[in-house]
Amino acid sequence: MVTIKELAAKSGFSKSTVSRVINNDHNVNEQTRKKVLAVIEEMDYKPNIIARSMITGSLPIILIIVGDIQNHYFARTVVGIEKELTEKNYMAVVYNSMYDVDKEKKFIRMAKECQFCGIIPMTAVKSDELEECLDEVNCPIVLINRDLRKKPLDAVFGNDFEASYIATTELIKNGHTCIAYISGPSKISSVSVDRENGYRAALKDHDIRVDESLIYEGKLDMKSGYEIGKKIFKNTKITAVSSNNFLMALGVHRCGKALGKPVLTEFDIACGETVPELYEESGFIYAGSDLEAIGAKAAQFLMKRINKSKEPRQKIIFSATKIYNPKQIK
């Protein structure tokens, strides 16, 4: 590999001058700059990233921690982050914690040891331990759909209240009045609380009484949706379900099919987040924020901090713009 030293020898200038040209420092004569640039071109010089990182003390790599990359929610957001990073010549290492707090802590420590230049922890659960762990880290951090109690950090959010409100409203538009709700575990994340409130508000705004017995608390996974489905289908008054998330909605769908119910035809199922690409036109009703856009924004925030921006802490909320209801098309 060609080094600065060789460029210096070939061009007749010193290492320092060549370095200045490379980092386009303005303290260099226009003539010299041209000559050096010509040599760079000629020798096909590429800077040694490791050597550069040796000086700066960090690699142009950021760590993204996700619960499970096979979950579309994380996958899409990561795609958004990476598109943004690649453009700016940064890279990302993605780690799956499989929703294990200890693993997440391990990854965060690793990011420090590996001298990554930033972290986007899309960590699974709220935890004081995790907050402490993030406190020890000295590189920039940007949060997605999460706030920390103590540390004020840049954060990007989807509008979960709105998403659930819209999804539920679509059910009402389709003529449903007896709509069950499957909530998430409210203690863990504010997302679940917001979505449930969206459901409640949608009913109220359409003069439908909220029946607490129609609200079931699930565990966010498909199995949980399946089990709750069994209860829901016993109550023949219910003609539709609004679910906190897609996986539980899918569970209800599976359950309904197993029981021979007219799911996705007469019996509608909605959820307050976008669905995986493969399910996009499969009949589920959904509303959610643009995950790729959220990821991209988070990456932008992070890069600003990496470049030592002193702007006050920012927080952005993305509206729920991805809406789908097959019965209301055309």
Q: Which residues bind a second copy (CB under 8 A)?
A: 46, 48-51, 53-54, 57, 59, 61, 69-70, 72, 75-76, 78-79, 82, 86, 91-96, 113-115, 222, 247, 250, 254, 276-279, 281-282
User: How many CB atoms sit inside 10 A of residue 94's CB?
Assistant: 17
Yes or no: say if 92 and 82 are a contact pair by the CB < 8 Å rule: yes
Yes or no: say if 271 and 231 are a contact pair by the CB < 8 Å rule: no
Residue type, 7: L
CB of 195 to a second copy, least distance (A): 20
Q: Tokens 């040891």: give the residue.
A: 113
Gap between the Cα atoms of 326 and 311, Å rounded: 44
Cβ closest to a second copy, residue 25 vs residue 281: 281
**What are the Cα distances from residue 237, in Å, to 188, 214, 232, 267?**
31, 10, 9, 11
260 binds, among a second copy, DNA, none (CB under 5 to 8 A by kind): none
115 binds, among DNA, a second copy, none (CB under 5 to 8 A by kind): a second copy
Cβ closest to DNA, residue 39 vs residue 122: 39
Strand order in 315-318's β-sheet? 142-144, 154-158, 315-318
Cβ closest to DNA, residue 17 vs residue 189: 17
User: Who's near 315: CB < 8 A, 6+ residues apart?
Assistant: 154, 155, 156, 157
CB of 27 to DNA, least distance (A): 4
Pick from 287, 279, 217, 236: nearest CA to 254: 279
259 binds, among DNA, a second copy, none (CB under 5 to 8 A by kind): none
Gap between the Cα atoms of 282 and 275, Å rounded: 10
Where on the chain is the footprint of DNA (CB under 7 A)? 1-5, 12-17, 19-20, 22-23, 27-32, 45, 47-48, 51-52, 54-56
Cβ closest to DNA, residue 38 vs residue 258: 38
CB of 123 to DNA, least distance (A): 28
CB of 190 to a second copy, least distance (A): 26
254 binds, among DNA, a second copy, none (CB under 5 to 8 A by kind): a second copy
91 binds, among DNA, a second copy, none (CB under 5 to 8 A by kind): a second copy
CB of 284 to DNA, least distance (A): 51
Strand order in 179-183's β-sheet? 215-217, 179-183, 240-243, 268-271, 285-288, 322-324
